[in-house]
Structure 1
Amino acid sequence: MHLGVLFLLIGVLLNAYVPPKIFPWFNLLSLGFPILITGYIILTFFWIFSWKKRVFVFMFLGLFFLNPVKRWVNYSSESKETANLKIVSFNIRSGKGGIDKIKDYLDQQNADIIFIQEENGQLKLNDLEGEYSLPVIRLYSKYKIVSRKNLFENLSDGDITAQCEQIDLEIKGKIYRVFNVHLESFGVVKSMVKLNGNNVEDEQKIKNVVKKLIPTFKAHQEQVQVIRESIDNSPYPVIVAGDFNSVPNSYEYYKVSEGLKDTFYEVGRGSGTSFHDYKYPLRIDYIFTSESIKPVSYKVDHDIKLSDHFPVIATFKIN
């Protein structure tokens, strides 16, 4: 059993190398990483209490999963740097939690840049400018917008929930390229994943969910390739933020984060869970930056339940 869990965990790590269009099941495993790693730890303790020498083998192999675990739960030491850039990323679920309450919360943050997903054109903030140029997403900024581009304009599937805007901002006399991301939604709701104990019905529900997940994984591959090319071709430092509809250790995570810093991994503390509509740990909102941008703090505001996502707040030091 322990070896079986180990092989499944290795399958999760293979997402760094195997794209969904070749083998999507590794990406499916990434969703179960919290359960798999918990099972691995419990079985390791079983060997400890059984006084079996094999525990040393499993403890050694478990070290390979320390970094993957830190992408879900992290306890970084507090940075002593002084931040001069504050960023908020928040999927507001079309303002269903109360657009006025969302506005008041975001105004109180006094952020320099705010990335909004699932926006419907209603949100107006006091001290930040934000042009509603694409469905689903909007960027608010204190800084001058130099240029903007719809990256997903020519995608083959044309799904309206898939949006990414590339925006060049002049921040403190220097140009930065930011990406506001909302990868394609899975279209899965609570009723689709809630099992009722009826074996036949539950089995059909699982099959229906998998039928939605697999094609979306493949669509994500095309979307992250477009983002990746734009990051690689950027002459400026980049900030990539938003709702990726993908968990840590997924293909999407590995592909987008190549050569970038995951702010939560660098300075986050506690749980990174950012989607709370299901009673299951799902971290799907991220802020990635170039190496030259130094993360100072990262917080998922678990006290704010104005959406099915929690707001993600990070500060940085830039020259």
Structure 2
Amino acid sequence: MKLKIMFLLFYIASSFGVYAINDPEPLKILCYNLRFGELASLEELAEFIKSVDPDIVALQEVDVRTYRERAPKQNGKDFITELGYRTGMLSAFGKTIPYMDGYYGIGILSKYPLSSIERIYLPKSAHGKEQRAVLVADVEYRDGAYITFASTHLDYTNTQERQLQVQALNKELLNRSYPVLLAGDFNAIPEAEEIMNGMKRWKDLSGKDATVPAKNPKKKIDYIFGYPAGKWELIRDTTYQVQLSDHLPLSAIVQMKQHN
């Protein structure tokens, strides 16, 4: 009799979706500054990305139809479109500056549909080197379920400029409707003001490994963050020892906690 009652309760619970409240499947995030393709071909970069098999990728130093003397093999190429094609992923590009007859900026690759895409310029003072931005996309990672994913690349010249840019990131991203993942080249070590205090409301999901320079890494300046901090769990982080750029790429397998 007890067995029948337990089976009946299980059947009722399943019928009403009680078991549908389990945490969502993990997402694998990759973050990579490409060094505008100076050190590797787009084929090599795409093969690496495919080998990692990420769900969503944040890219920095992405060229579109530029003509650089330092990267002649990449001249005229549309990095984001070609990488999307070669990896089989959907792609989005955010221009930060016009450069060498083309555009330079940041990008996103995703296995999943992008329901909205927005490029937002970050503050640039008289002390900043060049315009910076954040590329923001709402990603439908399951049917009817979304996260917000952002790729950025902050100023490399001074901490004051980066602090202003982090303030702008917080203003733009902390009040979004969906949980947020933010990845990019912050050009700042973990002890810097813009990371230690500027990003204190976020959870660092990217480990502690140094990411630059790629051949003999000494500093960590690339990150993957999640917000709200209590919503995200880090399952595993990896920094890849590959020499396709002057940065090492990093990944994080993350999972959302359904009840936070």
TM-score by length of 2: 0.71
CA distance in 2, matches of 1:312, 1:301: 6
Q: Which has the higher strand share?
A: 2
Offset, 1:299: 0.7
Contact 2:163 2:198 in 1 (8 A): no
Give unpaired runs (5+ residues) of structure 1: 1-80, 187-215
Q: Would the alpha carbon gap of residues 82 and 108 (structure 1) be closer, same or farther in structure 2, given more than 3 Å must change?
A: farther
Contact 2:214 2:243 in 1 (8 A): no
Q: Which amino acid aligns with 1:307?
A: S
Offset, 1:259: 2.2
| Aligned: 1:294 with 2:237 | no
Within 5 Å, give how 1:222-241 maps onto structure 2.
222-241=164-183
CA distance in 2, matches of 1:253, 1:153: 16
Offset, 1:184: 1.1
- Partner of 2:73 in structure 1? none
Offset, 1:151: 2.2
- Partner of 1:137 in structure 2? 106
- Partner of 2:33 in structure 1? 91
Contact 1:92 1:119 in 2 (8 A): yes
Over aligned residue pairs, what C-alpha RMSD do you find?
Answer: 2.3
| Aligned: 1:166 with 2:126 | no
Secondary structure at the residue paired with 1:317? Answer: strand
- Partner of 1:49 in structure 2? none
Offset, 1:280: 6.1
CA distance in 2, matches of 1:116, 1:140: 8
Within 5 Å, give how 1:1-319 maps onto structure 2.
84-99=26-41, 100-121=43-64, 122-123=78-79, 124-125=83-84, 126-134=87-95, 135-152=104-121, 155-156=124-125, 159-160=129-130, 162-172=132-142, 173-186=144-157, 216-264=158-206, 268=207, 272-276=209-213, 281-290=218-227, 291-302=230-241, 304-318=242-256
CA distance in 1, matches of 2:121, 2:136: 10
Secondary structure at the residue paired with 2:169? Answer: helix
Offset, 1:83: 5.9
CA distance in 1, matches of 2:220, 2:122: 27
Offset, 1:148: 2.2
CA distance in 1, matches of 2:215, 2:160: 23
Give unpaired runs (5+ residues) of structure 2: 1-22, 65-77, 96-103
Offset, 1:256: 4.2
Q: Would the alpha carbon gap of residues 309 and 154 (structure 1) be closer, same or farther in structure 2, given more than 3 Å must change?
A: closer
CA distance in 2, matches of 1:292, 1:217: 29
CA distance in 1, matches of 2:88, 2:176: 28
Q: Would the alpha carbon gap of residues 133 and 228 (structure 1) be closer, same or farther in structure 2, given more than 3 Å must change?
A: closer
Q: Would the alpha carbon gap of residues 84 and 278 (structure 1) be closer, same or farther in structure 2, given more than 3 Å must change?
A: closer
Offset, 1:230: 1.6
CA distance in 2, matches of 1:181, 1:281: 21
Report 1 or 2 for greater relative contact order, CA contacts < 8 Å, sequence distance ≥ 6: 1
Offset, 1:254: 2.2
CA distance in 2, matches of 1:278, 1:301: 12
Q: Would the alpha carbon gap of residues 90 and 254 (structure 1) be closer, same or farther in structure 2, given more than 3 Å must change?
A: same
| Structure 1 residues 234-279: Cα deviation after superposition (integer angstroms, max 9, x where no partner) | 2221101010000001111124422221113xxx4xx510011585
Contact 1:163 1:184 in 2 (8 A): no
Offset, 1:82: 9.9
Q: Which amino acid aligns with 2:136?
A: Q
Percent identity at matched positions? 25
Contact 1:161 1:183 in 2 (8 A): no
